[in-house]
Amino acid sequence: GATDFRRELLDKIRALGATRRRRSGLPAVRTPAPTAGPAATAEPSSLYKDPIVLRADKVMRRPKVLAIGSSTGGPQALATVLKDFGTGLSMPIVITQHMPPKFTTILAKHLSSASGLPCREAADGDRLVPNEILLAPGDYHMEIVADGNGQKVSLNQNPAENFVRPAVDPMFRSLIKVFDGRVLGVILTGMGSDGLKGSEDLVAAGGQIIAQDEKTSTV
């Protein structure tokens, strides 16, 4: 169920963080165990502290898509996380990484090699397929829209949000609408506030957010 899925994914994130701490000589960070009762919420600043799951006061539902946002230091973190996930998620994966044009093409090839999953720079109209990764191309916001046959990519060059394009927030907003909040969001290393508002909206819609902790982030 959703609880087992959440626990398994949290264990993976914590294990990755612990490995990096050991390599860097940093002390271990203890993360409190989940508690029963009303769902937990968190202040926005906690997105950049210990890895946690933010939840709205709703019944948790198994997510239908994995959405990842990252910025400075993101390529290495993405490769590490996707390699650990392997092929066990059985859901589409969409990624927005702050990066200029051409570099995202190279990153897609790198992530495909690191993860063992097909990964490509998204094109307008690409369909979401389980165990396939679509990466927002440089200088384009990537949104997901629904049609009669499922979900597909819609690219645009609307104004930059949070001073960047592509931005994480537009991707998160579109996924909330298309998947009725059944989204697992992951925020990785980076600077700035892009992804914060989208994460809050996702939690309010009943989705889940996991964030990389500050000590293992590049920025």
Residues contacting 74, CB < 8 A, separation 6+: 97, 98, 99, 188, 189, 190
Q: Residue 147, SS3? A: strand
The CA distance from 96 to 136, in Å, is 5
Instruction: Report, as residue numbers or ranges, the catalytic residues.
Output: 71, 98, 194
CB count in 10 Å sphere of residue 4 = 9
Exposure class string for 26-48: b at 16+ Cβ within 10 A, else e: eeebeeeeeeeeeeeebeeeebb
The gap between the terminal CA atoms of the chain, to the nearest Å, is: 34
Residue 9 φ then ψ, to 5°: -70, -40
CA distance 20 to 92: 27
Q: Residue 55: which residues within 8 A CB-CB, separation 6 or more?
A: 39, 40, 41, 203, 208
